[in-house]
Amino acid sequence: MNRTATILALVLVPMAVLAQDTTTVTSKRGMVVSTSSHASDVGAAILAKGGNAVDAAVATAFALAVTFPAGGNIGGGGFMVIQPARGTATTIDYRERAPFAATPTMYLGADGEIDRSLTASGYLAPGVPGTVRGLAMAHQKYGRLPWRDVVRPAAELAEGFELPEALALSLNRVVAGPMAPFPASVLAYGKPGGGEWQAGEVLHLPDLAKTLRSIAEEGPDVFYTGWIAEAIAQDMAKHGGLITREDLEQYRAVERAPIHGTYRGYDIIGMGPPSSGGTILVEMLNILEAFDLRSRPRYDATNVHLVLEAMRRGFLDRARWLGDSDFGEIPVARITSKTHAVEHAATIDLARASSSVALGEDIVTETYANEPEETTHFSVVDADGMAVSNTYTIEGGYGSFVVVPGTGFLLNNEMGDFNKKPGETNTRGDIGTPPNNIASGKRMLSSMTPTIVRKDGRTVLITGSPGGRTIINTVLSVVLGVTEFGLSGREAVDAPRINHNWLPDRGFIEAEALTSEVLARLEVMGHVIRVGERWQQGDASSIVIDPVTGIAYGAADRRGMDPKASVP
Ligand code: DON
């Protein structure tokens, strides 16, 4: 190659690679970052049409219910944190709740042990869905475009969209596996005539299109009091499920004040109960503020040890105190206070791992020698600076695997997030403390952590993630990356992650973070560490905003299924 050709190759090849990289984009006109390219594009088109960040978020959420059926949903629930361009932040709680007929011991078998099959799939697993009411509340209070304009694009997608490879593979796996016992689900998601889906083939979801059109034209009530409610209740009654017309009619989304914390001059705005996310994120940040993490390399043994110890204490308090605040007092102010963090920090030995059982000996009832995964998070900012951080879920991938006949959507299996055996908190990670025991009409505790970080009154980070109990730690990692270690959005999302959930007393670390020497040091300290490849469920679709220029840097998480940052 001559010199000019070499220079051209050096310049053009990286440019071509960058041009294709839709996971990393820059914009001053707003953007939507999600795990589905189709859904991000729908949200960005709503921004282009003059919609604000809430309009785009609502449209993206409905679109994800079509293009990311593992976690996007109208049959589940979630949380939205909204930061208007001016004024104070707010949150919408649209978490599912237990049907009125639910009881504390409904998941125990005749032997008194937890029957996990009952929450893994089928008709006893779903909580009363909250997504449609939640999105409607956000839209009605904070949106700008007509309702039908933000719902209709999802209905159009449901008429048929091209399958990304990861979704084709995932559908083939579930249709032949856990979905197989549910004929309406196989009818909706299986390949017509049988066989395996291939990337690029078109998935038609006619029933879901009809449902979404109905929601767009008739409004959200059709889901709770109209034909959709009737279809859900009938299917439940037929198969021994608990959700009734009354459950659906009575479901309400709730606007709640956000959790507020600070970390080295940054404001952390998060989700309060019934999510544990915001509360425990702020608590872990408060504990870590007592240590000078940035004086050492991010993943040196001392820093990893400190992060694991902060997580251990945060998740202990989660098990001890967190649940639905409408059913009992949750000491959120105490847990998120700096004094509580100082007390925790004082118990951390810089050279030795603590014992989770010893720290929580007052609540651990059983010692023995994982939660299922799928949810989705997306982040939105508009040209005026309004920001939305939204995480919602049907709990496990494809929820209960139950599609209500004639509706095309999957019901959640969120009831599994309740404590299933009151009184038993064990080293396997089951929790049995009162705040999250099952009760009629109660919301189950969540780990979802939609988060907005601000500095001097300006939004600098919008983030969140799926991943069950790992969620709070994924968000901690991204927040620390940006605020403590000065990383770009791309670097903060790519950075290897660390997880510890108090019990089981075992850390998980993405392999890239560790040298063998650091791992050996951690083990000498007494940590039990599992080292793994990138963990797929951590999918932190994030936006970092430069407070001076207002430029937004989107970082879709490359761990995700079909991630994209889309601009209007
Ligand atoms: O609300 C929660 O915390 C869980 N149901 C979320 C589940 C989840 O993130 C699984 N995703 N990967």
Q: Compute the distance from residue 395 Cα to the ligand 1 centre, in Å.
A: 5
96 within ligand 1 shell (Cβ under 6 A): no
If asked whether residues 87 and 169 sit together in one domain, one would say yes
If asked whether residues 268 and 302 sit together in one domain, one would say yes
244 within ligand 1 shell (Cβ under 6 A): no
Q: Is residue 192 included in any domain, yes or no? A: yes
Q: What CA–CA distance (Å, rounded) separates 92 from 81?
A: 7
If asked whether residues 464 and 338 sit together in one domain, one would say yes
H or E segment at 29? none
Q: What CA–CA distance (Å, rounded) separates 168 from 291?
A: 46
State the Cα angle at 403 between 398 and 408, rounded to 5°.
105
**For the CA of 466, the nearest atom of ligand 1:** 9
List, in sequence order, every residue forming a beta bridge with 461; answer none if it has no partner.
453, 544
Q: What is the pLDDT of residue 536?
A: 56
Taking each helix axis from N to C end, the angle separating 301-321 and 277-289, rounded to the nearest 10 degrees, works out to: 140
Contact 128, 251 (CB under 8 A): yes
466 within ligand 1 shell (Cβ under 6 A): yes
Q: Tell which of 412, 436, 460 closes a domain.
A: 436
Q: Tell which of 436, 455, 483 closes a domain.
A: 436
376 within ligand 1 shell (Cβ under 6 A): no
Domain count, the chain: 2
If asked whether residues 181 and 85 sit together in one domain, one would say yes
Q: Is 375 a catalytic residue?
A: yes
375 within ligand 1 shell (Cβ under 6 A): yes
Atom 12, ligand 1: residue with shortest CA distance? 374
Q: What is the pLDDT of residue 538?
A: 84
If asked whether residues 191 and 219 sit together in one domain, one would say yes
436 within ligand 1 shell (Cβ under 6 A): no
If asked whether residues 276 and 292 sit together in one domain, one would say yes
If asked whether residues 334 and 482 sit together in one domain, one would say yes
Q: Is residue 459 included in any domain, yes or no? A: yes
If asked whether residues 220 and 275 sit together in one domain, one would say no
Q: Is residue 337 included in any domain, yes or no? A: yes
Out of 375, 407, 425, 433, pick the active-site residue: 375
If asked whether residues 231 and 284 sit together in one domain, one would say no
Residue recorded with tokens 């109208």: 74
Q: Is residue 25 included in any domain, yes or no? A: no
The stretches in the chain having pLDDT less than 70 are 1-20, 369-373, 534-537
Q: Is residue 441 included in any domain, yes or no? A: no
471 within ligand 1 shell (Cβ under 6 A): yes
417 within ligand 1 shell (Cβ under 6 A): yes
Q: What is the pLDDT of residue 369?
A: 55
Q: Compute the distance from residue 273 Cα to the ligand 1 centre, in Å.
A: 15
Q: What CA–CA distance (Å, rounded) separates 459 from 456?
A: 9
**For the CA of 470, the nearest atom of ligand 1:** 9
Q: What is the pLDDT of residue 533?
A: 79
If asked whether residues 280 and 213 sit together in one domain, one would say no
Q: Is residue 358 included in any domain, yes or no? A: no
Q: What CA–CA distance (Å, rounded) separates 529 from 516?
A: 12
CATH code for the domain of 517 = 3.60.20.40
Give the residue numbers spanning the domain of 462.
256-351+447-566
Residue recorded with tokens 């449901």: 158
Tens of pLDDT along 262-311? Answer: 999 999 999 999 999 999 999 999 999 999 999 999 999 999 999 999 99
Q: Compute the distance from residue 471 Cα to the ligand 1 centre, in Å.
A: 8
Distance (Å) of CA 150 to CA 55, 139, 543 = 6, 9, 22
Dump strand ranges (E) for 257-410: 259-263, 266-270, 375-382, 387-393
* Pocket mutation for ligand 1, best pick of 279, 377, 400, 448 (most atoms within 8 Å of C-beta): 448
Distance (Å) of CA 291 to CA 264, 275, 478 = 11, 27, 18
Return the DSSP state at 500: -
Q: What CA–CA distance (Å, rounded) separates 330 from 335?
A: 9
Atom 11, ligand 1: residue with shortest CA distance? 374
Q: Is residue 388 included in any domain, yes or no? A: no
Q: What is the pLDDT of residue 392?
A: 98
Q: What is the pLDDT of residue 16?
A: 40
If asked whether residues 79 and 194 sit together in one domain, one would say yes
Q: Is residue 518 included in any domain, yes or no? A: yes
If asked whether residues 344 and 478 sit together in one domain, one would say yes
Q: H/E/C letters for each residue in 408-452?
A: CCECCCHHHHCECCCCCCECCCCCCCHHHECCCCCECCECCCCEE
Q: Tell which of 411, 436, 461 closes a domain.
A: 436
* Burial bucket for residue 526 (CB in 10 Å: 0-12, 13-18, 19+): middle
**For the CA of 417, the nearest atom of ligand 1:** 5
